[in-house]
Amino acid sequence: MFQSLSRSLLWRGLLAIAVGVIAIVWPGVTVAAVVVIFAIAAFTDAVIQASRAFSSETAGPVVGHLVLGVVDVAAGVVAIAWPGITAYALTIWIGIWAVVSGVGEIATAFASDDTAGDRALFGLTGLLSVALGVVLFARPDIGAVSLAQVFGLFSLALGVSSLVVAASTHRADTQLESNAGSVA
């Protein structure tokens, strides 16, 4: 068990480091990949909506699912035809998410019965999220590239962390085998 876990963590770490390097060195490629993944997701959802439409027994859900399928196809086509606009839209969407979640964190800070330190942490993370959203709204063009680079840094940190845990797990496995051999 430990050996497969350490190998899994090793491969996860190496893959995360590779993805991190690519995202930092080529943020434009990373943004383009996210746009392509969005287009694939939109087309996939269109197929799912169409299958749901034709499996429904009443007309109401059929029309609704077909409309959603058409919207999904349109979103996928727009993503492929105009990747720059799609990257801007995704960046704005992430900005909206950051502001909404930040406001929620700030509200939690005031409404929570937690300790003052926990409430301060909620408030600080809320302010950081709101600040991220404002920055993304102000410059979505730079925001998309910056998000790719931040994702790259995160992937690098995750990769290094996974490698450290893999080495630790491997050492623990070696120690257990050594102890089991000396007992037998």
Q: What is the pLDDT of residues 11-38, one digit of tens each?
A: 888 998 998 899 899 988 888 888 898 8
What's the mean per-residue pLDDT of the chain?
84
Q: Which residues of 153-183 are buried (b: 16+ CB within 10 A; e: fewer)?
A: eebbebbeebbebbeebbeebeeeeeeeeee
Give me the phi and psi of 57, to 5 degrees please: -95, -15
Q: Does any domain span residue 126?
A: yes
Q: Does any domain span residue 147?
A: yes
70, pLDDT greater than 90? yes
Does residue 3 or residue 136 have the better pLDDT?
Answer: 136
Q: Does any domain span residue 171?
A: yes
Q: Does any domain span residue 184?
A: no
3, pLDDT greater than 60? no
Q: Does any domain span residue 136?
A: yes
Q: Does any domain span residue 165?
A: yes
- The range of the structural domain enclosing residue 56 comes to 2-179
Determine which helix (DSSP H) or strand (DSSP E) holds 56, and give its type and residue range.
Answer: none
pLDDT at 64: 83
- Residues 93, 147: Cα–Cα separation, whole Å: 12
Place 59 in a pLDDT band, splitting at 50, 70 and 90.
low
- Total number of domains constituting the chain: 1
Q: Does any domain span residue 155?
A: yes
Q: Does any domain span residue 154?
A: yes
pLDDT at 1: 45
pLDDT at 103: 93
pLDDT at 81: 92
Q: What is the mean pLDDT of residues 42-46?
A: 91
